[in-house]
């Protein structure tokens, strides 16, 4: 397979690119490096620095490509609240630009990395793909709008499209920015360094934490699976874990006891979110294989930032 991965130097993109190269596929990566690091890419991946809105560059990179994995996006929920216009421009405008270029060149399939944030608060858990989305932040709105554009333009132009709504992905190499860091690497770093751990809300809010290898497996399967055109598919672990339980699991794996500060004045986000995986099993033969504790253990073993001393 010849493929292009937009946002391919980011956390998920790097893991996907490296897996595909090692499996013998021809991989092209496009990334603007606003949050990516090409040093982590397999030397067999062909890297190009650029913006997904650069149509001439896309026309060149899409030549003879069988499948596009569209991962390029701005991804901070909190940042999107401050800069909704920029998130709309990058995530929605970038998606439209890409699909136009795909139409022009004649690529057959697009796999879009969407987000479980589009669901928002849902009364019934686990959430299925057919519930009405309730996006509460601009990031989630941009992902939902991008889904609609991909499906509409795909239908109009004969492009096979599939959107994977990815839940809380984590694993080695996940970026740890100074502000608004993802919860798993943030908590790991805090606990290992002896820094006080701040819980927003009660800590009873739940999420679905899915290990990066399982996310990659779903993406790869979506590139070749039959009968998925125009389909939205959840990608998670299917296991509901509270923030308090996550802290307990990290404490057990690291054998460290954190000092916890509960700030009930701050919002912890929606109360519950966990994936229903029935459609993923049916369409992608998807069976997540890495438990949360096993995944945390792999982060300690494989990521030098968290290696126990």
- Residues with a catalytic annotation lie at 139
- Other Cβ atoms less than 10 A from the Cβ of 39: the count is 8
Gap between the Cα atoms of 16 and 215, Å rounded: 9
Query: Cα(183)–Cα(74) distance, rounded to whole angstroms?
Result: 17
* Cα separation, 221 vs 227, whole angstroms: 12
Backbone φ, ψ for residue 4 (5° rounding): -115, 130
The strand ranges marked E within the chain are 2-6, 26-31, 46-49, 67-70, 109-115, 160-166, 168-170, 197-200, 206-207, 209-211, 231-235, 241-242, 260-263
Output the six-digit token pair for 158: 């004969």
> At 143, is the secondary structure helix, strand, or coil?
helix
Cα within 13 Å of Cα(143), Cβ side = 30
Sequence-distant (6+) residues with CB within 8 A of 64 are: 2
First to last CA, the chain: 42
Task: Residue 42: name the closest of 68, 21, 12 by CA.
Answer: 21
| E strand segments, 50-171 | 67-70, 109-115, 160-166, 168-170
Which segments of 32-184 are extended strands (E)?
46-49, 67-70, 109-115, 160-166, 168-170
* Diameter over CA atoms, the chain: 56
């Amino acid at each position: 397979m010849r493929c292009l991965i937009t946002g391919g130097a980011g956390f998920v993109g790097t893991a996907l690119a490296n897996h595909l190269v090692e499996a013998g596929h021809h991989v092209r990566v496009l990334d603007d490096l606003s949050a990516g690091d090409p040093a982590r890419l397999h030397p067999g991946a062909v890297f190009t620095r650029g913006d997904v809105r650069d149509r001439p560059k896309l026309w060149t990179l899409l030549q003879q490509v069988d499948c596009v994995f569209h991962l390029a996006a701005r991804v901070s929920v909190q940042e999107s609240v401050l800069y909704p216009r920029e998130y709309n421009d990058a995530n929605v405008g970038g998606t439209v630009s890409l699909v136009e270029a795909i139409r022009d060149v004649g690529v057959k399939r697009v796999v879009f990395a969407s987000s479980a944030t589009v669901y928002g608060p849902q009364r019934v858990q686990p959430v299925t793909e057919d519930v009405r989305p309730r996006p509460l932040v601009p990031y989630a709105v941009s992902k939902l709008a991008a889904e609609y554009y991909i499906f509409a333009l795909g239908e109009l132009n004969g492009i096979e499209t599939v959107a994977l709504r990815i839940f809380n992905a984590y694993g080695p190499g996940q970026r740890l920015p100074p502000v608004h860091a993802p919860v798993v690497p943030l908590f790991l770093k805090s606990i290992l360094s002896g820094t006080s751990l701040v819980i927003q809300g009660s800590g009873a809010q739940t999420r679905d934490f899915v290990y990066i290898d399982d996310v990659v497996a779903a993406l790869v399967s979506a590139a070749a699976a039959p009968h998925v055109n125009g389909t939205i598919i959840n990608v998670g672990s299917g296991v509901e874990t509270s923030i308090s339980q996550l802290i307990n699991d990290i404490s057990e794996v690291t054998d460290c006891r954190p000092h916890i500060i509960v700030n009930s004045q701050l919002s912890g986000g929606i109360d519950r979110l966990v994936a229903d995986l029935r459609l993923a099993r049916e369409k992608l033969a998807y069976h997540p294989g890495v438990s949360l504790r096993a995944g945390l253990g792999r982060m300690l073993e494989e990521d030098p930032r968290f290696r126990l001393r």
